[in-house]
Amino acid sequence: MSAKLVTRPVAYEHDGVRLEGFLAYDDTKVSQRSPGVLVLPEWWGLTDYPRSRARQLAQLGYIAFAADMYGAGVTTTDAKKAGELARQFYGKPLMAERARAGLDQLLATGLVAEGQVAAVGYCFGGSTAQVLAYSGAPLAGIVSFHGGLVPASAEAAARNRARFLVCHGAVDPFVSAEEIAAFMKSMNEGKFDYQVRRRGARVLQPGGRRARPRGGRAHLVPCRRGPALVDAHAGVPPRNLRRRPAMSRLKVYHLPQCSTCKGALKWLRARGVDFEERSIKETPPTAGELRAMLAAQGGEWRRVFNTSGLEYRGLGLAEKLPNLGEREKLSLLTGNGMLVRRPFVIGPGVGLVGFDEEKWAAALAPA
């Protein structure tokens, strides 16, 4: 009998919110129970990406259910809106409770083998998978890809039944070394069965908007003893992500039509400064570059934001900025270069924003 992939939306409800998940399975497996996987989406919501992962899992023989965290049809491609949607869950019981509602739908299919259920999550979904396990949900294991790390309390450790696999990019700027250490400390103290896999020279990111890894992608493999997700290169970075020498040129992010930026570029060329031009609107600075700039500006976020810009004012950031966390600020800046103060100059030992000839001359003076 040839395999046929069955997919369908599943309407359900939690705490008065109408939800719509996505079920996928191979219909040749319905006569026998199979391992199940709960797919927890990124902060964009239940988009095509988590659905595609559910289909891939189903093709490998798993019963897969992509959960809805926000509400039927609620998705976004805007980082600010995504942050607002996700913020209602962080640090609150609702995160585990809403995920458990999705898990219950997977179990209610009657297709899942007892004791063979895992949860996988990407970014926001990775954090959600962790807290779902901490709630005592009947999970054999969880996998967090590029997720925010949630240290386990003693109570969470006592409730947990799952093994943990955390896949983390070694150069991922969104999770600090201190956060990783705190997470691993809680794992050790709670006697978790866990692994943290840090991939060198990469940031593990799923395929959402502005979040596709360059080169290899994480992919899925069949497993006789339950779900397993492995990196495509098994620890070997793709050619274009292997360790590069330190940056030897300045990067200058600018807006071509901006008169101040034009003056700054002219000033640099007149002094023979070697630099690489980037359009700040088309290619905003990376999170790592923004962190470096923040350090160069004494940790003052307002020096990095384009506080005089129309978009900054239109979003009401003058009032909102003090209440936003670092991750949210970085998401805004990496997602919209018009929010970044310009010109933005970053390089070895150099971090300059705005054109101030005296400061630039001092910073760029030959050693």
pLDDT at 176 over 50: yes
Q: What is the pLDDT of residue 253?
A: 96
Q: What is the pLDDT of residue 342?
A: 96
pLDDT tens-digit map of 112-131: 998 999 999 988 999 999 99
Q: What is the pLDDT of residue 297?
A: 87
Decide if 39 contacts 118 (C-beta within 8 A).
Answer: no
Sheet holding 250-254, edge to edge: 275-279, 250-254, 344-347, 350-353
Average model confidence (pLDDT) across the chain: 83
Decide if 242 contacts 326 (C-beta within 8 A).
Answer: no
pLDDT at 204 over 50: no
% pLDDT > 70, the chain: 83
pLDDT at 210 over 70: no
Q: What is the pLDDT of residue 207?
A: 44
Q: What is the pLDDT of residue 3?
A: 60
Q: For 259-274, give one letter per residue: b (16+ CB within 10 A) or e.
A: eebeebbebbeeeebe
pLDDT tens-digit map of 6-59: 999 999 999 999 999 999 999 886 667 899 999 999 999 999 999 999 999 999
CA pair distance 139, 21, nearest whole angstrom: 19
Decide if 132 contacts 155 (C-beta within 8 A).
Answer: no
Domains in the chain (CATH in brackets) are: 5-239 (3.40.50.1820), 250-363 (3.40.30.10)
Whether the full predicted model's pTM is greater than 0.95, yes or no, is no
One-letter amino acid of 102: G
pLDDT at 233 over 50: no
Decide if 134 contacts 99 (C-beta within 8 A).
Answer: no
Instruction: Give 227 or 325, the one with higher predicted confidence.
Output: 325
pLDDT tens-digit map of 58-113: 999 999 999 999 999 999 988 889 989 999 998 899 999 999 999 999 999 999 99
DSSP assignment string, 311-343: HHHHTTHHHHGGGS-HHHHHHHHHH-GGGB-SS
Q: What is the pLDDT of residue 27?
A: 85
Token readout for 195 is 């692994």
Residues 180, 118, 136, CA angle at the centre, nearest 5°?
75
DSSP state of 239: G
21 three-state secondary structure: strand
